[in-house]
Amino acid sequence: ATFLGSPTVRRGWDCVRACCTTQNCNLALVELQPDGGEDAIAACFLMNCLYEQNFVCKFAPREGFINYLTREVYQSYRELRTQGFGASRIPKVRAGIDLKVQPQEPLVLKDMENTDWYLLQGDTDVRIEKNEPDQVKLWGLKEGTYVFQLTATHSNQPEGMTNVTVTVLSPKQTEEYCLASSKVGRCRGSFPRWYYDPKEQICKSFVYGGCLGNKNNYLREEECKLACRDVQGPSLERHGPGCSGTCHPAEFRCRNGCCIDSFLECDDTPDCPDASDEATCEKYTNGFEELQNIHFRSDKGHCVDLPDTGLCQENIPRWYYNPFSERCARFTYGGCYGNKNNFEEEQQCLASCHGVSKKDVFGLRRETPITNIGSVEVAIAVLLVTCIVVVTALLGYCFLKA
């Protein structure tokens, strides 16, 4: 997840509006102002909760906070939750993350079970070989985006279906994802990440501060290696400002109307002619620090995660907690990655998640205001017609998952 800023606004709707007009923002976290009147807020935090099209934010109950989520992201996440926990269905498809690769590099797509793969989008000249029941090998990938539909079939389980997106990087995209220098950013968090060093042609670890990074920033070493394999070239050069047109979405607009690459904002080097790209950096650092200082209860957040087989292919029996049945059930763990809703013993699972129920599952809560809730939520929810849906008045604190 990415912290995008903390605008100085005093009304909930202004925070929502700020999210709607901020690139990549899909969640606005509002801290209510005690006794401040209807729609009065103490703070506004803007977040991007997507990483490679996966929802990576987690939530914990916190009185006095409201989350607003973009309608598109909310509906997608709710659908995932319904398929995962609804009617006690256990998801058997492990799509992993969306992938970035270099042109013409062969790519193997794997899953834990018997699967069928179907090309939904992309160059039909790509060659698909299926030599194993749980994997396919792709040859001849060209620049652009491919979408594959993956269907897992089982003798005793309903079919599971998901899409896997493969982005084959263009030279311009390769510059951004592989040739840009590592950027810690101005915020003072501590998130382990990976970046590609084109000089040594290897992926290296670094510590990301939590905001204002660039695209050469990967959660896992494997992602970095896949995206930048054998890439050579000088580090991405700084381009001067362009002052003859409208700024693109991936650019920062200087106060005088000129445009620079967005990753140049707040990097301690003025790039705008008026130095406006370095003028308001405190809004990120101060807001991020305030966000980190909010105390919340997160010890049971893992209990609402969907069971995750992981990326490896062992067959290890484990237990996961189902908040709908309030019981623990078995699943097969692959041996690596996955999440914390993963227990060796049933009693360990029950003890860890005692008291967690379906009301704690974000995405399956009420979607419309109820008459007996506070007037603050009602007043704000009325305004959420086009861009944002309100999640809940108590499900408030969103934290980063490194």
Burial of 223 (0-12, 13-18, 19+ CB in 10 A): buried
DSSP output for 34-96 = TT--TTBEEEEEEEE-EETTEE--EEEE-TTEEEEEEHHHHHHHHHHHHHHHGGGPPP-----
Question: pLDDT tens digits, residue range 209-221?
Answer: 888 888 999 988 8
Query: How confident is the model at residue 299, as a pLDDT?
Result: 67
3-class state of residue 262 by DSSP: helix
**Phi, psi values for residue 320, rounded to 5°:** -130, 155
Q: Which segments within 72-215 are labelled E, that is strand?
A: 99-101, 107-110, 115-121, 127-132, 135-139, 144-152, 160-168, 191-197, 202-208
Query: How confident is the model at residue 228, as a pLDDT?
Result: 94
For residue 218, give the DSSP letter. Answer: B
**Ordered strands of the 144-152 beta sheet:** 99-101, 160-168, 144-152, 115-121
The 10 Å Cβ neighbour count of residue 314 is: 12
Query: How confident is the model at residue 246, as a pLDDT?
Result: 83
Query: How confident is the model at residue 261, as a pLDDT?
Result: 84
The answer to whether the CB of 162 falls within 8 A of the CB of 96 is no
Query: How confident is the model at residue 298, as a pLDDT?
Result: 57
Domains and CATH numbers, the chain: 2-86+359-399 (no CATH), 103-168 (2.60.40.10), 301-355 (4.10.410.10)
The answer to whether the CB of 121 falls within 8 A of the CB of 127 is no
Q: Which residues of the chain have pLDDT under 50?
A: 86-96, 112, 155, 158, 363-402
Q: Which pTM was predicted?
A: 0.63
Question: pLDDT tens digits, residue range 76-116?
Answer: 666 655 555 543 333 333 444 578 999 988 888 765 455 67
Largest CA distance in the chain: 65
The 10 Å Cβ neighbour count of residue 84 is: 17
Mean pLDDT of all residues in the chain? 76
